Amino acid sequence: MTNQAPGRILILVKPDAVERRLTGEILRRVEAKGYDLVALKVVTPTPELLAEHYAEHIAKPFYPSIVEYMTSGPVVAAVASGHRVVEGCRSLMGPTEPTLAAPGTIRGDLGRDWGTDAMKNLVHGSDSDESAAREIAIWFPELV
Ligand code: IDP
Ligand code: MG
């Protein structure tokens, strides 16, 4: 039997979560599920970095509010590793809207609608292996 190489995911603990002192709680859940943290840093993103990261959203009406949200303070960027880590972490995080995310998920347990233009939902996780490779190169160029 051959072992496949483990996958990787980019995780961002977003500024609302850092401000609420939830970094440890969020990364604890990733570790408790069994994934390895293989890189970690604190960074306040620039609009230029976000334009790369959120390239798929640039034309959307809520894009300026995302930039305002994501540049409002430091984020904790992490790379986690493990078999099917993208699926596993997206499942841990729950769907985009925190109001509707199921209890048991990070967004469902810890998030809510604060009436802001940008949807504050605590955490980002790459949505595919291809997105993960692209996003890890943006946030951790030293790893590539
Ligand atoms: P995801 O983070 O669950 O992958 P995406 O659709 O990739 O969700 O959206 C990226 C981020 O943009 C979301 O996490 C959220 O913070 C914000 N966002 C998404 N849709 C909306 C919206 O309709 N209004 C305001 N902000 C949004
Ligand atoms: Mg996304």
Give pLDDT tens digits for 56-73.
999 999 999 999 999 999
Return the DSSP state at 105: B
Give the position of tokens 């790369």. 52
Strand 123-125, strand 75-82: pairing = unpaired
pLDDT value at residue 140: 98
- pLDDT of 2 strictly over 70: no
Where does the pLDDT of residue 1 fall: very low under 50, low under 70, confident under 90, or very high at 90 and above? low
Of residues 1 and 8, which shows the higher confidence score?
8
Give the model confidence (pLDDT) of 84-101 as tens digits: 999 999 999 999 999 999
Most ligand 1 atoms within 8 A of CB, residue of 96, 113, 116 to mutate: 96
Indicate which residues carry an active-site annotation.
124
pLDDT value at residue 4: 85
Q: Is the CB of 66 under 6 A from ligand 1?
A: yes
